[in-house]
Amino acid sequence: MDRPFAITLPVGSSRANHTGSWRVERPVYVDHLPPCNDACPAGENIQRWLYHAESGDYEAAWRILVEENPLPAIMGRVCFHPCESACNRVRVDEAVGINAVERFLGDTALARGWRLPDPGPDSGRRVLVVGAGPAGLSATYHLRRAGHAVTLVEGAARLGGMMRYGIPAYRLPRAVLDAEVERILEMGVEVVLGRSVKDIAAARDEFRADAVFLAVGAQLGRRVSIPAGDSAKMIDAVTFLHQVAEDDPPLLGRHVVVYGGGDTALDAARTARRLGATDATIVYRRNRAKMPAHAEEVEQALGEGVTVRWLSTIERFEGERLLIEKMALNAEGFPEPTGELEELDADALVLALGQDTDLSLLEGSEVHVADGVVPVAESMMTDVPGVFAGGDVAPSDRTATVAVGHGKRAAKGIDAFLGDRSFERPERHPLAAFERLNTWYYADAPRTQRPELERIRRQTNFEEVVGGLTEDNALFEARRCLSCGNCFECDNCFGVCPDNAVIKLGGGDRYEIDYDYCKGCGICVAECPCGAIEMVPERI
């Protein structure tokens, strides 16, 4: 160097000074489990598919979605989205409309004819799936992906189970159901319709199945004894909806009363309205807050003219007249009879008091049944090796989404069983708690957009006639995702480091800390919007 000694220095020479030695704590990148993923009964990687949807790559998003769930257009309509209840954004403004985006992706896939992934290489093993509801279909899909042959046996005339016979068409258009079911069948499935399996062991032998997945659902409407006159027309909701689904609706008359407080009660009441009932009244013994039905469903039902008599029980049903007793909440919040009676006009009473499973096919088998359901291990296997059970027959919440999740887990359990491997659920990351987020960085929805957004969100959770999201709105909604717990490459850490000690790898490869220079100040951690960096004590 011919420049003046010490007065003039060549640029960037300080890189020789490794200030990383100052550090007592080091930042490390982590991946935490987003609450939406955590809450999803189907085990969807919601945040990941939203990530792709955010950039408008809907096919990539859909492909990640169907890694877990082959029925997004259906779930985008019927799922009660616990993901949204868990969403951290609730504490910023409102939850991300995950369900609506899922539906958008599902519909887009159907419209563009995207196909599910090809089946895996033939394993030479066969699995008997009993019941073609969401659990059975989900299991079928995942088993095919693993390369196992599937024989799908369904007692009804058509596939879909409760999705077809329990959920009214205004919530789930049959064209959507058919299309998503058909797409699974395209993977190559042996289907046997109209065949009720009576003996599980015999059927296993008959179909030369190496394993069985039992997913017959809960098809029996629960009855209670209500003093009633001979002329009183009573029907359980499951039967009622099933008949409607088969285009053979019973004649209920103009005044229909539905007894119960679950979603099925609402479906029954709303269906009755559509069938011409001038009034459909739900009688429920507790108050609105205690109603097990989902709030949106209640809202929609009320909007359609369904009336609800909360805090009421049915005392007696004599043809055309129903006597109900008013209840009052006691100090503990439980309803107690008041003795106050009231009459209602009623041509028919629909009982929506819950469903039971028909497990007669297990009689004589060694499969253990307890409290009307089949206890299963984590792999969804019953006491009997090779026999798995899921959906409504397994102890769990009885929703289509849970069933889809069961189907997936059972398929993995079966795959492990067939491969003589032990089943292990993948390790779950710690939960990405709201407290880890720096929500400052998330954009507020622009003011001009908010009324529109609210309208859209209203639509998304409404019934079919309202329609799905436009692409722009789906994109907008996807972009509301906070990416809790997982780096989404916002460059904050790269930018806010006073020591240039964050290396940007780019192109989806995120970042690395340059520990040669990182002094451990922790700004990157503090300013990471999604909590994907944490400080750990320096190893000494």
Partner 1 sequence: MLQQLEGSRAVAETVARCRPEVVCAYPISPQTHIIEAIGAMVKDGRLAPCEFINVESEYAAMSVSIGASAAGARAYTATASQGLLFMIEAVYNAAGLGLPVVMTLANRAIGAPINIWNDHSDAMAVRDAGWIQLFAETNQEAADLHVQAFRLAETLSVPVMVCMDGFILTHAVEAVDLIDQAVVDSFLPPYEPRQVLDPDDPVSIGAMVGPEAFEEVRYLAHLRQLDALELIPSVAEEFAALTGRASGGLLHPYRLDDAETVIVAMGSVLGTIKDAVDARRATGERVGVLGVTTFRPFPVAAVADALAGARRVIVVEKAFSLGMGGVLATDVATASPASGPELATVVAGLGGRPITRRDVEGVLGRSAQGTLPRLSFLNLDEDVVARERARMAASRRSGPFAENVLRDLAAGGANR
Partner 2 sequence: MTETRVHFYQVGSFAVGNRLLSDADRTVQASRERTNSLDAGHRACQGCGEALGARYALDAAMRATGGRLVAVNATGCLEVFSTPFPETSWRIAWLHSLFGNAPAVATGVAAAMRAKGRDDVRVVGQAGDGGTVDIGFGALSGMFERHDDVLFICYDNEGYMNTGVQRSAATPPTARTATSEAVGADPGNVFGQGKDLPRIAMAHDIPYVATATVADLHDLERKVERAMTFRGARYLHVLVPCPLGWGAASADTVRLARLAAESGFFPVFEAEHGVVTGVRRIRRRVGVEEYLRPQRRFAHLFAGEGRPDLVARLQLIADANVERYGLAPEEE
Contact footprint for partner 2 (CB under 8 A): 6, 9-19, 22, 54-55, 440-447, 449, 452, 455, 459, 467, 470, 472-473, 475-476, 479-481, 483, 488-492, 494-496, 498-501, 504, 506, 514, 516-517, 519-523, 525-527, 529
In whole angstroms, the minimum distance from the beta carbon of 14 to partner 1 comes to: 10
- Would you say 234 or 523 has its CB closer to partner 2? 523
CA angle 191, 193, 196 (to 5 degrees): 115
DSSP notation for 387-422? EEE-GGGSSS---HHHHHHHHHHHHHHHHHHHTT--
- Of 5 and 440, which has the nearer Cβ to partner 1? 5
Structure tokens at 278: 């001038």
Where does this chain touch partner 1 (CB under 8 A) — which range of 7-15, 206-214, 447-455, 486-494?
7-15
Q: Which does 479 bind (CB under 5 to 8 A by kind): partner 2, partner 1, none?
A: partner 2
Q: Work out whether 4 is an interface residue with partner 1 (CB under 8 A).
A: yes
* Distance in angstroms (rounded) separating the CA atoms of residues 347 and 366: 46
Residue 14 sits at the vertex; the CA angle it makes with 10 and 19, to the nearest 5 degrees, is 180
Q: Which CB sits closer to partner 2, 331 or 465?
A: 465
Binding-site size for partner 1 (CB under 8 A) equals 10
Cβ atoms 309, 287 nearer than 8 A: no
Q: Phi, psi at residue 488, to the nearest 5°?
A: -120, 20
- Residues 140 and 62: their CA atoms lie apart, in Å, by 19
Diameter of the chain by CA atoms?
Answer: 113
- Please choose which of partner 1, partner 2, none residue 421 contacts, taking the beta carbon within 5 to 8 angstroms, the exact cut-off set by kind: none
Name the 3-class secondary structure at 185: helix
Smallest distance from the beta carbon of 30 to partner 2, in angstroms?
16
Taking CB under 8 A as the rule, does residue 224 contact partner 1?
no
Residue 3: contacted member of partner 2, partner 1, none (CB under 5 to 8 Å, by partner type): partner 1
Query: Shortest distance, CB of residue 116 to partner 1, whole angstroms?
Result: 58
Rounded to whole angstroms, how far apart are CA atoms 77 and 401? 11
Least Å distance between CB 5 and partner 2? 9
Q: Does 5 bind partner 1 (CB under 8 A)?
A: yes
Nearest-5° Cα angle at 472, 456 to 486: 90
4 binds, among partner 2, partner 1, none (CB under 5 to 8 A by kind): partner 1
C-beta of 6 vs 16, nearer to partner 1: 6
364 binds, among partner 1, partner 2, none (CB under 5 to 8 A by kind): none
Nearest alpha-carbon partner for 406 in 374, 358, 383: 374
Residue 460 beta carbon to partner 2: minimum distance, rounded to whole angstroms: 12
Q: Which stretch binds partner 1 (CB under 8 A): 3-11, 209-217, 416-424, 500-508?
A: 3-11
Compute the CA torsion angle 457, 460, 466, 470 (nearest 10 deg). 80
Contacts of 385 (CB under 8 A, 6+ apart): 417
Is position 16 an interface residue for partner 1 (rule: CB under 8 A)?
no
Q: Which of 7, 443, 465, 540 binds partner 1 (CB under 8 A)?
A: 7
Q: Which is nearer to partner 1, 10 or 537 (CB)?
A: 10
Tally of CB atoms within 10 A around 321? 14
In the list 8, 231, 330, 422, the residue contacting partner 1 (rule: CB under 8 A) is 8
Cβ-based neighbour number of residue 428 at 10 Å:
10
Nearest to 255 by CA among 350, 352, 349, 346: 346
Name which of partner 2, partner 1, none residue 290 binds, using a CB cut-off of 5 to 8 Å depending on partner kind: none
Distance CA 467, CA 457 (A): 11
Nearer to partner 2, 426 or 451 (CB): 451
CA 274 to chain centre: 27
Rounded to a whole number of angstroms, the minimum distance from the CB of residue 74 to partner 2 is: 22
Query: 238 and 219 in contact (C-beta within 8 Å)?
Result: yes
Structure tokens at 235: 């029907």
Is residue 9 involved in binding partner 1 (CB under 8 A)? yes
Shortest Cβ distance from residue 13 to partner 1 (Å)?
8
Residues near partner 1 (CB under 8 A): 2-11
